Amino acid sequence: MKRLLPWAVFVLAALYFLLPLIGMFEFSLRMKRGQYSFEAYRVVLADPRFQQTFLYSVILALLTIVLGALIVVPTAYWVRLRLPKLRPVVEFVTLLPLVIPPIVMVFGYIRMFNTSSLLPLTGSWWGTNVLVLFGYATLALPYMYRAVDTGLRSIDAATLTEAAQILGAGWARILAVVILPNVLVAVLSGAFLTFAIVIGEYVFAALLNLDTFGPYMVWMGGNRAYEPSALAVIAFAITWACMGMIQLVSRFLRH
């Protein structure tokens, strides 16, 4: 009986998790009457707007990863090395995006950077993209910071830094040649999580009027029957592919 209970809980949880997915997948195959087919997927993948918005979101996600890594790696490294007392404060700050809803953040951004402000970023296409990029980097901060901090914990960053310093290296070289390669797995873990978040993000994109993959999915959901399910399955597959990549990269890059 004692052994059965955990299994029963596991099966119930699996059903709770998998049944809606199976239902959605099954529904996405029913576009052609009386038979299962991948017609909905064909339609979605052939849609130029899908290609355009998806590509746009992929580019934004990649840029967010670069920006996030540039902000987080030196910060986490410096906090660990020189400002360990500040760690709880920095951790708290990095957790804020989890407790402040994105809609609050985006309204704050619009208020701060609207066309009549000192820095009117929303007034141009480039400015808006820069704004959304920083917004996405903020959204990904809890995941990126934790991943990198965990990576730094697994290496003796202080001694490696001193070893590089005594050999003549400056801070830039230490970060680029010694620290970053040794926390690369952690950075990539954070990067894949960032990718998964940005690719389906809706609130920032919709309120800043950007035609990314998130708003496209919502538009599709309001106007089509089978294609939204196909899109959801695709988005879900991308997320899981990212998770799988984290595992793969962790396995192959381990020194």
Partner 1 sequence: MGFLELRHVEKSFAEAQVVTDFNLSVARGEFVSFLGPSGCGKTTVLRMVAGFEAPSAGAIVIDGQDVTALRPNRRNIGMVFQAYALFPNLTVAQNVGFGLRVAGQGRAAIAARVAEMLALIGLPDLARRYPYQLSGGQQQRVALARALAARPRVLLLDEPLSALDARIRVSLREEIRRIQKELGITTIFVTHDQEEALSISDRVVVMQQGRAVQTGTPFEIYNRPASRFVAQFVGTLNLIDAAVRDAAGGVVELGGAPVALGRPLPAGAVGLALRPEAVALGRSPEREVVLAGRVAEMHFLGAVIRLRVDVAGQIIALDTFNRPDAPPPEIGASVEISLSARDLLVLED
Contact residue for partner 1 among 181, 209, 225, 250 (CB under 8 A):
181
DSSP state of 33: T
Q: Is 6 a residue that touches partner 1 (CB under 8 A)? A: no
Q: CB 103: neighbour CB atoms within 10 A?
A: 12
Contact 133, 204 (CB under 8 A): no
The footprint of partner 1 on this chain (CB under 8 A) covers a number of residues equal to 20
Rounded least distance, CB 194 to partner 1, Å: 23
H helices within the chain, ranges in order? 4-28, 39-46, 48-81, 87-99, 102-113, 125-154, 157-166, 171-173, 180-182, 184-199, 203-207, 213-223, 227-252
- x/- contact string, 143-172, with partner 1 (CB under 8 A)? ------------xx--xx-xxxxxxxxx--
Distance CA 29, CA 31 (A): 6
Q: Which of 42-50, 81-89, 123-131, 177-185 is the region at the interface with partner 1 (rule: CB under 8 A)?
A: 177-185
Q: Is 176 a residue that touches partner 1 (CB under 8 A)? A: no
Radius of gyration of the chain measured on its C-alpha atoms: 22
Contact residue for partner 1 among 85, 111, 251, 255 (CB under 8 A):
255
Q: Is 178 a residue that touches partner 1 (CB under 8 A)? A: yes
SS3 183: coil
Rounded least distance, CB 155 to partner 1, Å: 7
Rounded least distance, CB 12 to partner 1, Å: 43
Task: Rank residues 75 and 182 by Cβ distance to partner 1 and give the closer one.
Answer: 182
- x/- contact string, 50-89, with partner 1 (CB under 8 A)? ----------------------------------------
Contact 64, 205 (CB under 8 A): no
HSE (side-chain half, CA atoms, 13 Å) at 115: 4
- Which of 109, 114, 116 shows the shortest CA–CA distance to 134? 109
Task: Rank residues 26 and 156 by Cβ distance to partner 1 and give the closer one.
Answer: 156
Task: Rank residues 122 and 182 by Cβ distance to partner 1 and give the closer one.
Answer: 182
Task: Rank residues 181 and 244 by Cβ distance to partner 1 and give the closer one.
Answer: 181
Rounded least distance, CB 76 to partner 1, Å: 18
DSSP state of 178: I
Q: What are phi and psi of 47, to 5 degrees?
A: -70, 120
Q: Which two structure tokens, joined as six digits, stand for 121?
A: 């970023």
Task: Rank residues 35 and 159 by Cβ distance to partner 1 and give the closer one.
Answer: 159
**Residues lying near partner 1 in the complex (CB under 8 A):** 155-156, 159-160, 162-170, 173, 177-178, 181-182, 184, 255
